[in-house]
Amino acid sequence: MLGFLRPAPGNELQDLKALSLFSDLSVRDLKIVQGVLHEREYLAGEVIFDEGEEGNALYIVRTGRVLICRQGRPENPIAEIGAGGFFGELALLDTAPRSAQARALEPCKLAAFFGSDFLSLLETETKLSSRILFQFARHLGRRLRGTVL
């Protein structure tokens, strides 16, 4: 009701809020998530992670495009992720090996969200992390429906 009193999120926070995973978060929650993200810059062609590598982090694409493909076969892409998208999200749940390779298609800025940081958020910020978990479950549900159909 008094939503107009809440501070408006800055550009980076607005980008985060645009992600389905963080769409339910308040400005305060977004600031907390922003605090645990690690910003990285990759050049076109640089490998972000390899297939079979232990997955520790989810990556959010801030700018640029990322190619997801089988190891060493960029000519047959599985997916292309643009600004505002994310990939490698199962690393939030466990450290299972990555099932595909991720490469920067063009110079890009990514933000890494580590599974260990998410686990500590689960301890310290129960409401915040339950909102992320809920969105995560919805995201997985959509993926599952897409696979079945």
Q: Which residues of 7-29 are buried (b: 16+ CB within 10 A; e: fewer)?
A: eebeeebebbbebebbeebbeeb
Instruction: For strands 77-81 and 86-87, give the pairing.
Output: unpaired
Of the pair 17, 31, the CB lying nearest another protein is at 31
Structure tokens at 120: 């500590």
Specify burial of residue 65 (Cβ count, 10 A radius: 0-12, 13-18, 19+): middle
Q: Could you count the other beta carbons within 10 Å of the beta carbon of residue 122?
A: 15
Residue closer to another protein, measured from CB, 17 or 139 = 139
Residue 13 in contact with another protein, rule: CB under 8 A: no
113 binding another protein? (CB under 8 A): no
Least separation in angstroms between residue 11's CB and another protein is: 20
Residue 144 interacts with another protein (CB under 8 A)? no
d(C-alpha 100, C-alpha 58), whole Å? 14
Q: Which of 16, 25, 33, 48 binds another protein (CB under 8 A)?
A: 48
State yes or no: residue 23 binds another protein (CB under 8 A): no
Residue 47 found at the interface with another protein (CB under 8 A): yes
Residue 54 lies near another protein (rule: CB under 8 A): yes
| 81-105 residues labelled b (16+ CB within 10 A) or e (exposed) | beeeebbbbbbbeeeeebebbbbbb
Q: Is residue 124 part of the contact set for another protein (CB under 8 A)?
A: yes
For another protein (CB under 8 A), the number of binding residues is 48
Does 76 engage in binding with another protein (CB under 8 A)?
Answer: no
Q: What are the residues binding another protein (CB under 8 A)?
A: 28, 35-36, 38, 40, 42-50, 53-57, 68, 78-79, 81, 85-91, 94-102, 112, 114, 116, 123-126, 139, 143
